[in-house]
Each structure stands twice: as structure tokens, then as C-alpha cells.
Structure 1
């Protein structure tokens, strides 16, 4: 398998962490989808990463689709329950984490996209997206409470998705300082940082 992505993308990182936890072999191909010479459209017509290219050449995209597939490839470290309320809980955590990242990306691109003049940038739009990021992180902290992990007592996709969202937020928006505001999330992220899967995929 070949994973096309960027080391700065939190969605790509989520896939890379899952691959590490599942002990799956793959080739990582760096791709800047914003560069003029990007070739990502040849694998994903939407022009986004991550994109997983299988041995036969077929491509799979969207991090949620990819991690769902990867969890079926090996019985090692099952990350997504197969059915029922437990599965819905994990997928809801993932949706919350992805929503924080979605809002963060919209906020960041409004602020830095070079093809938009400064006078065209909307502070109201950026403030709206920042509000979503902060509300999402607060909801994570409330949902985690005093539990050792987001969905029970074992690592799951919930924790991987939340960890990637929090690390990316700290990477791109250090001024938010969610650690001080939400010590329970700080404890969780410190625990995740002890895992090789997180150490080896830090955003850069």
C-alpha cells in the first residue's frame, strides 16, 4: 500500500497512527496539494490527502474511510468496535475531532491563503471557526472527564482522532493554550505521546 499525504496534515497523521498501531507496512509519499505541480488529482479527483493507493492501483480517500478499512486488515489492536452503541460512540468521537480540524483548517486558510488579498479576508469568518475549535475542544474535555481514555479503558480510534486534533491545534494555534484550560486533555495527550505511533508522526 502507498499512502499519499503531508506530515503537517492531521488527517494524514490519523491514518499513519492507525497504521502504526495496526503494524501495517506501507510506503509514505509526501505530497503538497497546494503546490502548482501537485499530482494528487491523478489518485484523488478531489485533490485532497490522505489518499491510500492499493497494490492494484485502486485509491481510497477520506481519513474516516481509510481508517475504517485499515482496522479490518489485522486483528492486532482493534480500534473500532464492530457494531452497536460502542461503535457509534467511537465514530462520534472521531466526528468531533475531525470537526475541530475542519474548522481549524478553514480558520487557517482564511488567514494565510496567498491567493486572497488581506482586504478580502473575513475576521468574522475566522472568529466563527475559532469558536468551533474552542467549543469542540471543550466538548472533548467534558466527554473525557476522569476516564483514562475517551471510550473506556483501552486505546481506540477515539483517542487517536482526538490526539491528532489536539496536537495539530497546538502546532498551528499555540495561542489557544487548551492544555491550561483542560487538564484532563493534557493528561490524555501526554499519555498518547508515550506511544511510538505518536512520537514517530509528530506534525512538522
Structure 2
């Protein structure tokens, strides 16, 4: 199999965690691919994904799978790891809901950073909306931290972890751990899990500037 990937992508990280959990890391050839939202699509990616986004998985039989949700379900099924995405309807819906929340938060964080990059042309109404949604999503996760802890590790947890990782990577200094102590405590219990620790998002210099923003978009202790 081949994977269009970047070490800077939170959605690629989801796939990498699943590969680690399923013992399938060595079955994938990684193709370093740069995908930038506010730029012309990368033709190398576009050939395999008409949406021009990563990750993209090319299977052994030539299927081209996107996005991370589809790829993760494919890998989980291929590995027979029902523990990561249960077949029981109630347990499955719980994980899919957390996946929707984690992925949705990650999308907001990516789009918010793109809007901020417009500088003086950034729309303050749009930025305020991103902040409100970010705070609401994080408050929900903080309130559900006990349930996250009590539920066996799976795809929902991975999606939430990747959203929190994006906070650490691009919104360093926002103080989410101080403002959300229950969520921070849960995160600390699994941060050292091998699949989590080995896939932390990093800036390899393979695209536009990737250091975390020097001035946080928001901070805890400040009203939205």
C-alpha cells in the first residue's frame, strides 16, 4: 500500500496511529506530499484524490481511499480490530460521535489558522465564530472526560487526541490544559501510549512555515 502523508497533518496522524495499533506500519510506503489549503492543489495528490487533500491511501488492489475516516475504517477492518471500532451499535456510535467531534474541531483549527494568516484582511466575525466553536467543542470533551476514560481505547479517542495535538502544534500557549483540567488529566493517561507518542505531529520543513503561532489565537481565562 502507499500513503500520501505529511508529518504535519493531524489527519495523517490519525491514520498513523491506526497503522501502529494494527501492527501495519511496515505494510505502507509513505509518499511525502504537501497539501496547502490556500494554494493551488498539488498535482501529485490530485491524481489520487480529486479533493486534493491528504491522507490518501492506495491499496494493494489499486483503490484510492480518502479521507482519514474511510482509511481508518478500511485498515481496522483489514486488521480485524473490532476493538478499535466496535460492531455493537451503541459502542460504535459512541466512537463515531467522538470522531465527528474530534475531526470537526481539527477542521475548525485548520481553517481558523488559515483565516488568521490573512492578517489585516481576516474577518473578525469568522474568527470569533471559530473561537466560540472551539471553546464549545473543548468544553464538551472536558465534560465527557470520565466517559473517555471509561471507554476502551478506539477510533473516537484517536480523533480527539489528534485535535488536541493540533492545539499543541499550532496554538501553543492557549493554555487548554489549565482551562480544561479533566480533559488534560485524560490526555495525560494516554499520551505515552506507544502509538500516540510515536506519531506526534512535527514540522519537517517540507512546506510553508509550520512553527506554532507565536501569538495564541485564544487563551483560557479570557472570555470568548
Give your verdict on TM over 0.5. Answer: yes
Alignment of 1:160 with 2:165, yes or no, is no
How many residue pairs get aligned? The number is: 197
Equivalent residue, structure 2, for 1:32:
34
Q: Equivalent of 2:87, from 82, 96, 100? A: 82
After superposition, what is the alpha-carbon deviation per residue over 1:28-67, rounded to whole angstroms, capped at 9, x for unaligned? Answer: 2211112768310011010001101112332000111111
Whole-Å Cα distance in 1 between the matches of residues 145 and 86 of structure 2? Answer: 18
RMSD: 1.8
Whole-Å Cα distance in 2 between the matches of residues 37 and 62 of structure 1? Answer: 16
Could you tell me which runs of 5 or more consecutive residues in structure 1 were left unpaired when the two chains were aligned. Answer: none
Equivalent residue, structure 1, for 2:49:
44
Q: Counterparts in 2 of 1:10-159, with a 5 A limit?
A: 10-24=10-24, 25-34=27-36, 38=42, 39-76=44-81, 78-112=83-117, 116=118, 118-145=119-146, 147=147, 149=149, 152-159=150-157
- Compute the displacement of 1:77 (Å): 6.8
189-198 vs 98-107, which moves further: 189-198
Runs of 4+ in structure 1 deviating by more than 6 angstroms, as ranges, are: none
Q: Equivalent of 1:202, from 181, 200, 205? A: 200
Whole-Å Cα distance in 2 between the matches of residues 198 and 69 of structure 1? Answer: 20
TM-score of the superposition, structure 2-length normalised? 0.82
